[in-house]
Structure 1
Amino acid sequence: MSGAQESFYVLEEVTPDATVVTATSQTAGPWSATAQHGGPPMALMSREAARVADPGRVVMRFTADLLGPVPVGRLRVQATVARPGRSVELVECRLTDLDTDRVVARAACWFGPRVEGGPATPPPAVPPGPGSGTTRATPPGWSPGYLDAIEWSWVDGALEQPGPATVWMRPRPALVPGEPWTPVERLLACVDSASGASAALDVARWQFMNTELTAHLVREPDGEWVGLRAETTLAGTAVGLAAAELFDEHGFVGRSTQSLLVRPTSQITGR
């Protein structure tokens, strides 16, 4: 990779009120080469939220709504403090497609105090580490942009294998040029993959796009690898639920959930 392809986004303009970026082809999701995977936009919104939040706080919960396809193009991301406070703080973000001036995603990020040495309960067991996993080829019919931009280490399951899965992930490119990943940005760039990793249906016949994601974190992740132990639940309707336990190499970090819109590929005309 070289030039712009070393990052998910290229910075075009940064002001106190907003950041303008151009998405590279590495953000493209599995359904289309012109629409982004949910992970990079969520990481981008968390980056903007951190720009306006109290720097002494940590992310407790991040919720994003995908209001439509996020194009692989020019975007403006803005964040505002919706609820300031001495202990907790709520920051709201919105992501706008500059070609249409349409808001394509929004997020709400709760920040809490940074405290060490607090009480703890027994965490879920950590899955085998990334060194124990194997790589997998991108399944036929899936666009390769984001999928090729991530290093995958599969402990159980595979994209082309329906059912629960355990996988470790780390992004190959930077989020933006010349800037290291923060732990939360890296995690949010990965956790939207839980629904694909634990796909319960044949991707050639079905789409199961998520309209939103919520991640609850009990501590800051650490290190380059993000682990997902994911499972998708379907109940015979057009709605599904993908849920995942989240890990770094030191242990349990939190949980994520995604609501899925489940439709036969032959019936798809848009969100």
Structure 2
Amino acid sequence: MTHQLEDELDKILATGDFYFEALGEGRYRSSWHTQGAWNAHEQHMAPASGILTHALENFQPRDDMRIARLSFEIHGLIHAGEFEITTRMIRPGRTIELIEAEMTAKGRTSIVARAWRVITADSTAVAGIEDATVPGPEESEVQNISAQWPGGYIRSIEMRAVRGRRPGKGIAWLRTPYALVDGVHASRLASLIGLADTANGVVPRAEPGDGNWMFPNLDLQIHMYRAPQGQWLGLEVQQSYGTDGIGLTSTVLHDVAGPFGRAEQILTVRQL
């Protein structure tokens, strides 16, 4: 790496107790804590998902609705440094709405996120959840995930794992001491979604650097049957690889009160 490139990275990957700095009018700058695991020059998908969720939540908000589904389509490299988020209404409605947020950097689309917002109502009489609760963070063991994965984002999180975690299946809990956006309040939803993409690295079937295998995800799909709460995100993960270079990471999402939804990530599994 040249000294000029090093200086540029030092400039755009500014340090601080936050993932993003708001520059106004939908523009942001990423900090070093967003640095990805696959490429030192890009952001990790996890905090990028969080800032997009933050933008979607604050676009024409309605007190009588909440986000029930989030989808993130990764179009290419998520550049570190400055970027812009634009939001728009796709499908307005009285009881359901579909909204979209697009992240662009260096003139190219990085991620397109969509959210279904659904009107809330009292469904206590028929409420029921089939996903089982799992041991919480206080019953889990501290893990040094930075020994397994590189990057500033990975170093920014605390991870604890439930005993019995193995390649392909396991349970982990995550939290971070860093604010999603410097000086700006971000909801618990945006902050927790900003950790969810980490699921792909919790129980990898191929260790990073083992045989030069890569398995980056192309998307992140999240469905939530209740609103999450607290600072801990629990990931009950299963990872499967097919024989033709395609895999899937499937996750039940938990907070300290129990399960609240599910996430799916399609993978491209390839050897360098």
Question: Which residue does 2:245 correspond to in 1?
Answer: 238
Q: In 2, distance between residues paired with 1:54 and 1:180?
A: 15
Q: 1:101 aligns with which of 91, 101, 107?
A: 107
Q: In 1, distance between residues paired with 2:129 and 2:39?
A: 41
Q: 1:185 aligns with which of 164, 186, 190?
A: 190
Contact 1:164–1:232 at 8 Å: present in 2 too?
yes
| 1:189 shift after superposition | 0.9
Question: Which residue does 1:54 correspond to in 2?
Answer: 61
Question: Which residue does 2:78 correspond to in 1?
Answer: 70
Which ranges of structure 1 fall in alignment gaps of 5 or more residues?
A: 267-271
User: Is residue 183 of structure 2 the alignment partner of residue 175 of structure 1?
Assistant: no
Which residue identity does 1:104 align to in structure 2?
Answer: S
> CA distance change for structure 1 residues 9 and 140 in 2, over 3 Å: closer, same or farther?
same
Contact 1:157–1:197 at 8 Å: present in 2 too?
no
Q: In 2, distance between residues paired with 1:141 and 1:165?
A: 16
Structure 2 residue matching 1:152: 3-state secondary structure: strand
| 1:216 shift after superposition | 0.3
Structure 2 residue matching 1:5: 3-state secondary structure: coil
Which residue identity does 1:25 align to in structure 2?
Answer: W
Cα shift readout 1:71-90 (whole Å, capped 9, x = no counterpart)? 11100011111111000111
Question: Which residue does 2:9 correspond to in 1?
Answer: none
> What is the Cα-based RMSD across aligned positions, in Å?
1.7
Q: In 2, distance between residues paired with 1:65 and 1:122?
A: 28
**TM-score by structure 1 length?**
0.89
Question: Which residue does 2:39 correspond to in 1?
Answer: 32
Cα shift readout 1:142-171 (whole Å, capped 9, x = no counterpart)? 32311111121111466xx52212011112
Structure 1 residue matching 2:243: 3-state secondary structure: coil
Which residue identity does 2:69 align to in structure 1?
Answer: R
Q: In 2, distance between residues paired with 1:144 and 1:24?
A: 12
| 1:140 shift after superposition | 4.8
User: Is residue 21 of structure 2 the alignment partner of residue 10 of structure 1?
Assistant: yes
User: Is residue 261 of structure 2 the alignment partner of residue 250 of structure 1?
Assistant: no
Structure 2 residue matching 1:199: 3-state secondary structure: coil
Contact 2:168–2:240 at 8 Å: present in 1 too?
no
Q: In 1, distance between residues paired with 2:149 and 2:199?
A: 16
Written as runs of structure 1 = structure 2, the 5 A alignment for 1:210-221 is 210-221=217-228
**TM-score by structure 2 length?**
0.89
Written as runs of structure 1 = structure 2, the 5 A alignment for 1:63-142 is 63-97=71-105, 100-118=106-124, 119-138=126-145, 140=147, 142=149
Contact 2:136–2:173 at 8 Å: present in 1 too?
yes
Contact 1:21–1:76 at 8 Å: present in 2 too?
yes
181-190 or 228-237, which deviates more: 181-190
Q: 2:215 aligns with which of 192, 208, 223?
A: 208
Which residue identity does 1:166 align to in structure 2?
Answer: I
Structure 1 residue matching 2:131: 3-state secondary structure: coil
Question: Which residue does 1:269 correspond to in 2?
Answer: none
Which ranges of structure 2 fall in alignment gaps of 5 or more residues?
A: 1-13
Cα shift readout 1:156-214 (whole Å, capped 9, x = no counterpart)? 466xx522120111122101112333122122111111111121112112110001010
Aligned-residue sequence identity (percent) comes to 26
Which residue identity does 2:206 align to in structure 1?
Answer: L
> CA distance change for structure 1 residues 48 and 139 in 2, over 3 Å: closer, same or farther?
closer
| 1:262 shift after superposition | 0.6
Structure 1 residue matching 2:145: 3-state secondary structure: coil
Contact 1:123–1:252 at 8 Å: present in 2 too?
no
Structure 1 or 2: larger helix share? 2
Q: How many residues align?
A: 255
